[in-house]
Amino acid sequence: MREMADVVRNESLKAGLPSSLFAEELYPGPSVQTDAEVEQHIRDTTWGHHACCTAKIGKQEDPMAVLDSNFRVYGVRNLRVVDASVFPKIPGMFITVPILVTSQKASAAIDAQALDACRDSPYCMSSDDDSGLSRQNIGAIVGGILAFIGLALSLLYALSDKFRNKKKDAEVSARAQAQFEADRARQRAATKDRITLLGKEKEGAIDSDTLAINVTPAEARARVMFAELDRDNDGYIERHTLRAALSAASGIPLDEVVSDDVNKLLEDEPLAVDGKVSLQEFLRIRDRHVSITVPDSRANGSSMLFTPTDVYFENITLDYVDPKTQESNRVLHNLTGYIAPGTMTALLGSSGAGKSTMLDVLSMRKNTGNVEGRVLINGHERNSSFYKMSSYVPQEDLFLPTVTVREVVMYYATLRMPAYATPAARWRRCEMLLLESGLLEYVDSKVGGPLPGGITVRGLSGGQKRRLSMVCGLIANPAILFLDEVTSGLDALSALMVMEMIRRLATQGLTIIATIHQPRTSIWRMFDKVMLLANGRLMYMGDASRATEWFNSLGYPTDPQANPADFLLDLTSISFHKDPALFGNKTMRKLEHVEDAADAFAKSEHMALLRRQQKFVSYSRGVDQTLELMTRFGKDKDAKMQSSLWRRVIESSRKMAGNAEHQSMAPWGTQFGVLLKRAITNYVRNPGNVIARFVLVAFTGFMTGAAFFGLSEHWDALNSRLGALYFLCVIYVLLPFTSLSLFIYDRQFYSRESAARLYTPSAYYLANSLVELTFNAANVAISASVAYWMIDLGLSDNILGAERNANGFWVFLRIMTLLHIVGNQMVQLCGLMMPNQDMAFALGAGFVILCQIFSGFLVIPSNFNEVTEWLQYTSFLKYAYAGVVLNEFEGYDANSDPSFSIIEEAHFSNPTTVADNQYVLLGFFFVFHIMAFLCLKYLHKERR
Ligand SMILES: Nc1ncnc2c1ncn2[C@@H]1O[C@H](COP(=O)(O)OP(=O)(O)OP(=O)(O)O)[C@@H](O)[C@H]1O
Ligand SMILES: [Mg+2]
């Protein structure tokens, strides 16, 4: 400047510029003349820019470097330069941002020096203590160790569970096996005695115990029926009725046992007139019943003695009404028929014929469409107890892949068997069924199948799973078993093995109705009866062996080489063009043909027989009437013997009849216990679940801790501190999404099992919620503590120290736990409200976005738009965030530190205390739970 003044005042004139060019000197002014005066003036009044890069930061050796990396001017004490001049190069066009960043760095450097200076002061709150381990370091280590221990424990548990179960199963198995053998021996002896009893040879040797084991209510009932028949038919009964009664009395199917002996008996019988025999004759024949051969399975004691039960259905029609057009579509047309006890009936028909629909109607599991007509079970209308006496095995097998065969059957045994059944009895029943189904050797294998995470567990084959499904259906000792598409999806051998098992069950008195597709000849032969449907009409019902004969009589020729089932299906399918070269000229081609055949069958002798059989059944009045009968028998000449025999029969019948009741639901406590155990097993054994939820949660806590590691307590880190709190909140809301697929996966079990009346919604819901809650709380405990100590949260505790009556850490943990379980519940609720996983995910994600927008972190609540402001009250994230922020900054002095006003303004006018925010979260927790339970109970009904 001095030179500038000199140039203007002197050099320009010397250079010949006219003095008229210079009007007046304004600056530094005429009073400043000498060099010394000019210099003094400069010192007093002037200022100037540091042009970019004129005071660059660099190494001391660099001759152009002016500043060290802490912005200090080399060689000068207490002088720093912070502006654009510090850059070694011009940092681009828009220089403001680099300058801001540089300023921040400079302020941190200055701050750090100030902290150094105040370190010894008693007011210094810095935790940047280099001596020894700092708090956040300890936090990180403890947190890390905790996370590691948690992880290791969970994995260890998952692994050890396998070994423990193996050992336990082996012990129990040995015990059960011993009991089973003993029981079998006892039954064997008892069965022998019983055969003798029927022969009246050694009746004195029978004690009531053995009788109780072996006499079924059917026996009592069959006798009652005869008494009734006698009354209504002048003492005469029809021959086939007699055969059926003898069959029912012995619990052995007509064709297998009774046919040989009794047919012969009846044929030899001189007193039978017109195919009728008198009651006296019947009693005589019954006493000669001794010659009945007892099937192996029955003699060796492994039989199950099902309660013989029959089904009569009359004029069943079913219409579906289209909700839009209100048009009605008839799917079943006036079906009438009869299914005898202990028989195996194939429900046959081409695709769309109405097989599954009919099976659902018969099994009382149809809850869509308008059904008319009636179904009688042992002559009585069905009521809700029908669910208890029948089992329905759906087409798809549904098991948790991670559980063992034994666990599956025990699960059903506990839920299905009577409360007073001892554990030993349960084991025995399971063993017996597993033996029957050929699964005993796989008892410790996992069921197997794909897990929701995509991992596939190795386990049983398709056929074995099918048999296991049947075992589960049979545990409750049902009287009727419904099977849908029993062999579909199985290879020939597996199908045959499944069918053999079913055949054995029918032999033991179980009534079986099975829809089946294209049975091979060997399977076809196993069925006693066939019920053929075509376009919802009954084409034939009766002996499987006589089906082709019936259609021949209608004029449809058969190929003797063909499988009869193929013939029946080919004949009655009309939905496609039938080439005469393949199907012949005489086959059904139009709906009229089908209708004509159905009409012919309705008028046939077969139908008359079905109705007669039903009439016989209608006389059945159950066990109680046996008492009346007993009085009658009391007048008999063998009164003494008969009455004592009948008393025992009745006693045992009562016990057995009681057994039918046993199939009611287990007590609520048992249901809850079993479901709790299953939920824990399912949780622990599913590696996807363990990884997704335990490891991930621990990992995210650790990573958040690392990202915000050891935050400074000064206002410059205020935003980071708020950010860390917000981020943690978001994590605990987002993490539950990892298990959405598990909720959805589990839902199908609930639908299936609750439809089978296995348990109540409340037991299922509470058991699962309790497990979820525990695991979630454990997850948060690990992950949030790791993050808390690593970040060095708990400012408020530092500020207030002993003055504070709450411990910041515990409050923080409580809020985070509440948030996580509320978040989890929200995801569950979405899973329950929506029909599929994608929609549940969309709903959940939408809600979480809303929660985030109105969390109070991204937009300060006072800035919320008036129209949408109310939405903040739906954001449970807001309450958790407000809670942790208030907890963190309590006692932060707003007067001494203006930054606190930001927090005050932003967080949160309503509610204003940490405790109140927690109460609101608790409110969310209960509301979500109630909603989820209602959805589970009312939305998740199986629709058929
Ligand atoms: N909910 C429904 N609403 C309207 N029509 C239905 C409904 N369910 C089934 N149907 C119709 O009822 C008829 C019989 O169906 P069903 O499932 O009983 O046949 P199916 O004999 O079991 O066949 P498949 O062998 O293919 O299993 C079909 O024409 C089907 O389209
Ligand atoms: Mg079907």
Q: Is 349 in the pocket of ligand 1 (CB under 6 A)?
A: yes
Domain end marker among 63, 92, 115: 115
Do 844 and 830 meet the contact criterion of CB atoms below 8 Å apart?
A: yes
Residues 6+ apart with CB under 8 A from 1: 28, 38, 42, 46
Assign 3-class secondary structure to 357-422: HHHHHHCCCCCCCEEEEEEEECCEECCCCHHHHEEEECCCCCCCCCCEHHHHHHHHHHHHCCCCCC
pLDDT digits (tens, 9 = 90+) for 279-297: 444 444 443 332 222 333 3
Return the ligand 1 atom nearest residue 533 CA: 21
Helical packing angle, 808-833 and 876-889, nearest 10°: 170
Residues 355 and 382 in one domain: yes
How confident is residue 532, by pLDDT bands cut at 50, 70 and 90?
A: very high
Residues 6+ apart with CB under 8 A from 899: 715, 718
For residue 310, give the nearest of 83, 509, 532, 130 by alpha carbon: 509
Phi/psi for 726 (5° steps) reads -65, -45
pLDDT of residue 792: 86
H or E segment and range at residue 887: helix 876-889
Number of Cβ within 10 Å of residue 124's Cβ equals: 15
DSSP code at position 902: H
The CA 584 to ligand 2 mean position distance, Å, reads 28
- Work out the average pLDDT over 855-863: 79
Do 388 and 329 meet the contact criterion of CB atoms below 8 Å apart?
A: no
With tokens 């939305």, the residue in question is: 939
How confident is residue 904, by pLDDT bands cut at 50, 70 and 90?
A: low
The CA 363 to ligand 2 mean position distance, Å, reads 14
Ligand nearest to the CA of 531: 1
Whole-angstrom distance, CA of residue 785 vs CA of residue 136: 11
Domain end marker among 98, 115, 132: 115
Residues 66 and 33 in one domain: no
Residue 632 carries which side chain, given as an amino acid letter?
R
Q: Which of 126-140, 421-435, 677-691, 751-765 has the lowest mean pLDDT?
A: 126-140
Asked whether residue 179 is assigned to any structural domain, the reply reads no
How confident is residue 156, by pLDDT bands cut at 50, 70 and 90?
A: confident
Residue whose Cα lies nearest atom 29 of ligand 1: it is 352
Asked whether residue 556 is assigned to any structural domain, the reply reads yes
Would the pLDDT of 638 be above 50?
Answer: no
Which of 230-234, 745-749, 799-803 has the largest mean confidence? Answer: 745-749
Residues 65 and 28 in one domain: no
Asked whether residue 408 is assigned to any structural domain, the reply reads no
**Probe ligand 1: pick from 317, 331, 483, max atoms within 8 Å of CB?**
331
Q: Which two tokens stand for residue 802?
A: 């002993």
pLDDT digits (tens, 9 = 90+) for 11-67: 877 888 887 777 788 888 888 888 888 888 888 887 766 778 888 888 888 888 999
Domain containing 565 — which CATH number? Answer: 3.40.50.300
Residues 850 and 905 in one domain: yes
With tokens 């005066």, the residue in question is: 37
Residues 6+ apart with CB under 8 A from 522: 496
Ligand nearest to the CA of 357: 1
Classify strands 328-339 and 311-321 as parallel, antiparallel or unpaired: antiparallel
Return the ligand 1 atom nearest residue 485 CA: 27
Q: Is 353 in the pocket of ligand 1 (CB under 6 A)?
A: yes
Ligand nearest to the CA of 347: 1
Residues 736 and 752 in one domain: yes
Whole-angstrom distance, CA of residue 574 vs CA of residue 572: 6
Please name every residue paired with 339 in a beta bridge, in sequence order, or none if there are none: 311
pLDDT of residue 655: 43
Classify strands 456-457 and 529-534 as parallel, antiparallel or unpaired: unpaired
517: left (phi over 0), alpha (psi -120 to 50) or beta: beta
Q: Is 448 in the pocket of ligand 1 (CB under 6 A)?
A: no
Q: What is the rounded radius of gyration, in angstroms, for the C-alpha atoms of the chain?
A: 44
Helix, strand or coil for residue 483? strand
DSSP 200-244: TSSGGG--HHHHHHH--HHHHHHHHHHHHHHHHTTTEEEHHHHHH
With tokens 């567990």, the residue in question is: 457
Do 606 and 615 meet the contact criterion of CB atoms below 8 Å apart?
A: no
Helix, strand or coil for residue 53? coil
H or E segment and range at residue 561: none
Residues 279 and 339 in one domain: no
Residues 883 and 813 in one domain: yes
Whole-angstrom distance, CA of residue 614 vs CA of residue 380: 11
Q: Is 368 in the pocket of ligand 1 (CB under 6 A)?
A: yes
Residues 6+ apart with CB under 8 A from 326: none
Side-chain-facing half-sphere of 667: CA atoms under 13 Å = 5
Return the ligand 1 atom nearest residue 355 CA: 21
The CA 357 to ligand 1 mean position distance, Å, reads 6
pLDDT digits (tens, 9 = 90+) for 817-844: 999 999 999 999 999 998 888 999 999 9
Which of 1-10, 630-639, 727-736 has the largest mean confidence? Answer: 727-736
Q: Is 81 in the pocket of ligand 1 (CB under 6 A)?
A: no
Q: Is 348 in the pocket of ligand 1 (CB under 6 A)?
A: no
Q: Is 354 in the pocket of ligand 1 (CB under 6 A)?
A: yes
Q: Is 878 in the pocket of ligand 1 (CB under 6 A)?
A: no
The CA 485 to ligand 2 mean position distance, Å, reads 7
For residue 375, give the nearest of 335, 345, 323 by alpha carbon: 335
Residue whose Cα lies nearest atom 18 of ligand 1: it is 354
727: left (phi over 0), alpha (psi -120 to 50) or beta: alpha
Whole-angstrom distance, CA of residue 243 vs CA of residue 249: 10
Instruction: Determine the structural domain holding residue 10 and report its residue range.
Output: 1-45
What are the Cα distances from residue 211, in Å, to 41, 173, 194, 215, 259?
130, 29, 7, 6, 25
Ligand nearest to the CA of 535: 1
Which of 439-443, 763-767, 799-803 has the largest mean confidence? Answer: 763-767
Whole-angstrom distance, CA of residue 705 vs CA of residue 701: 6
Q: Is 912 in the pocket of ligand 1 (CB under 6 A)?
A: no
Residues 763 and 807 in one domain: yes
The CA 535 to ligand 1 mean position distance, Å, reads 10
Residues 253 and 319 in one domain: no
Q: Which two tokens stand for residue 138?
A: 């300890």
Q: Is 352 in the pocket of ligand 1 (CB under 6 A)?
A: yes
DSSP code at position 666: P
The mean pLDDT of the chain is: 74
Q: Is 320 in the pocket of ligand 1 (CB under 6 A)?
A: yes
Residues 81 and 93 in one domain: yes
Q: Is 257 in the pocket of ligand 1 (CB under 6 A)?
A: no
Return the ligand 1 atom nearest residue 360 CA: 18
Do 815 and 884 meet the contact criterion of CB atoms below 8 Å apart?
A: yes
Residue whose Cα lies nearest atom 24 of ligand 1: it is 351
Tally the residues of the chain.
944
For residue 869, give the nearest of 857, 861, 858 by alpha carbon: 861
pLDDT of residue 177: 63
Which of 186-195, 409-418, 612-621, 887-896 has the largest mean confidence? Answer: 409-418
Q: Which two tokens stand for residue 597?
A: 């055949």
The CA 365 to ligand 2 mean position distance, Å, reads 14
Residue 162 carries which side chain, given as an amino acid letter?
K
- Please return the burial class of 877, using the count of CB atoms within 10 Å of its CB with bins 0-12, 13-18 and 19+: buried
DSSP code at position 293: P
How confident is residue 348, by pLDDT bands cut at 50, 70 and 90?
A: very high
How confident is residue 728, by pLDDT bands cut at 50, 70 and 90?
A: very high
Asked whether residue 451 is assigned to any structural domain, the reply reads no
Number of Cβ within 10 Å of residue 207's Cβ equals: 11
Assign 3-class secondary structure to 617-664: HHCCCCCHHHHHHHHHHHCCCCHHHHHHHHHHHHHHHHHHHHHHHCCC
Whole-angstrom distance, CA of residue 332 vs CA of residue 744: 34
Residues 283 and 340 in one domain: no
The CA 355 to ligand 2 mean position distance, Å, reads 6
The CA 486 to ligand 1 mean position distance, Å, reads 17
Classify strands 276-278 and 236-238 as parallel, antiparallel or unpaired: antiparallel
- Residue burial 216-244, b: 16+ Cβ < 10 Å; e: rest: bbbbbbbbbbbbbbbeeeeebbbbebbbb
Residue 880 carries which side chain, given as an amino acid letter?
A
Whole-angstrom distance, CA of residue 462 vs CA of residue 321: 37
Number of Cβ within 10 Å of residue 904's Cβ equals: 13
Residue whose Cα lies nearest atom 5 of ligand 1: it is 320
Asked whether residue 152 is assigned to any structural domain, the reply reads no
Domain containing 278 — which CATH number? Answer: 1.10.238
The CA 99 to ligand 2 mean position distance, Å, reads 75
- Work out the average pLDDT over 728-750: 88
Whole-angstrom distance, CA of residue 124 vs CA of residue 452: 55
**Probe ligand 1: pick from 333, 356, 573, 943, max atoms within 8 Å of CB?**
356
Whole-angstrom distance, CA of residue 562 vs CA of residue 670: 53
The CA 356 to ligand 1 mean position distance, Å, reads 7
Residues 510 and 599 in one domain: yes
Phi/psi for 171 (5° steps) reads -60, -50
pLDDT digits (tens, 9 = 90+) for 677-708: 988 888 888 766 666 677 888 888 888 998 88
> In degrees, to the nearest 5, what angle opens at C-alpha 282 toward C-alphas 278 and 287?
150
Asked whether residue 418 is assigned to any structural domain, the reply reads no
What are the Cα distances from residue 235, in Å, to 45, 227, 249, 266, 285?
139, 9, 19, 17, 15
With tokens 């409110």, the residue in question is: 923
Classify strands 344-349 and 529-534 as parallel, antiparallel or unpaired: parallel
Domain end marker among 60, 90, 115: 115
Q: Is 356 in the pocket of ligand 1 (CB under 6 A)?
A: yes
How confident is residue 812, by pLDDT bands cut at 50, 70 and 90?
A: very high
Residue whose Cα lies nearest atom 2 of ligand 1: it is 320
**Probe ligand 1: pick from 320, 326, 327, max atoms within 8 Å of CB?**
320
Would the pLDDT of 471 be above 80?
Answer: yes
The CA 944 to ligand 1 mean position distance, Å, reads 10
Asked whether residue 195 is assigned to any structural domain, the reply reads no
Number of domains in the chain: 5
Asked whether residue 736 is assigned to any structural domain, the reply reads yes
Q: Which two tokens stand for residue 935?
A: 């959805």
Q: Which two tokens stand for residue 337?
A: 């028929």
Q: Is 484 in the pocket of ligand 1 (CB under 6 A)?
A: no
Number of Cβ within 10 Å of residue 723's Cβ equals: 15
Whole-angstrom distance, CA of residue 287 vs CA of residue 125: 103
Classify strands 456-457 and 449-450 as parallel, antiparallel or unpaired: antiparallel
The CA 556 to ligand 1 mean position distance, Å, reads 27
